[in-house]
Amino acid sequence: MRTAQILKEITNSKYTDIVSGKTPALIVPNVLSSSHCTLLSRKILKTNFMGSSPGISKKIGTSLSSHIYEKSQYFSNALLSNQTLKNLFSDNVSPIVIMQQTISKILQKQLSPAFENEMIYSLAMIRIHEHGDSVHLHRDNSNFEMSEYGISNLKNQLSAILYLQSPHHGGELTIYDKMWDKNDERMRHPEFGYSLDLIKNVTQKKILPVTGNMIIFNPKLYHQVESVIGLKSRISLGFFFGEKSKNHLCSWT
């Protein structure tokens, strides 16, 4: 049976199952305490927001997908984005560092931010989904889509998401048992994501955005964020990571 696994440490075979998509996701509970998440969420909601994305009212941070062919602009924005996050998290240990350390511990591999020609990649992104927000069916695949960037060469890429605030209702992450294939590109939507025809009759796993929990999954599995319902927004912090070598992971957004 395909179930998300709740674990604190994983073996090599379980890591392989996550990379292959056999296990839809790892749920790492209580990475941050509820009180720490509440504190951070309050600060985040007071920040001047930097932008929006398909299905996301507000986001803090920059990502490669906004700059697929604007490399120098991406790295300029990454510096600003990283500084904003540093300022935001200056009162406590950064949750980005806590996520990195947790991943490093459970996967037993070193994890550090990705650099290219001495320029640092964007460290993470905060996404704020408000009432009515949802993210359409998509996959994240830097190996295929970000070929202009060095991180496209990193193997076994995974996604890490930490939930800082749960909405009253909705906002589940639905992961489908279907890995992206290049033939799926014919099912692309011009603006964002893919046709829902791709996941007809495909098994799915819904993951609740529980405050303090971190999710690790293969982002090449098709996934979507269900509609958020209610006045309390869904706040998450995320980045991607992949293998630079067998025991060294690099992260970026």
Partner 1 sequence: MTDIIWGTVTKIISTNSFEMNVSHQKDTNNDSYQDVEEINFTEIDIPSIPVDINSRNISQIEESLNDKFVKCEISGRNSENRLVCSVSHSGAGGY
Residues near partner 1 (CB under 8 A) are 53, 63, 65, 68-69, 71, 125, 138-141, 144-145, 147-148, 180, 182, 185-194, 219
When the beta carbons of 49 and 144 are compared against partner 1, the nearer one is: 144
CB 161 within 8 Å of CB 249: no
CB 232 within 8 Å of CB 165: yes
Q: What angle do CA 227, 96, 130 make, to 5 degrees?
A: 20
When the beta carbons of 46 and 186 are compared against partner 1, the nearer one is: 186
CA 218/CA 156 separation, integer angstroms? 8
CA 245/CA 133 separation, integer angstroms? 38
When the beta carbons of 106 and 133 are compared against partner 1, the nearer one is: 133
CB of 111 to partner 1, least distance (A): 19
* Measured CA distances, 65 to 68, 112, 252 (Å): 5, 21, 12
When the beta carbons of 10 and 234 are compared against partner 1, the nearer one is: 234
CA 168/CA 228 separation, integer angstroms? 8
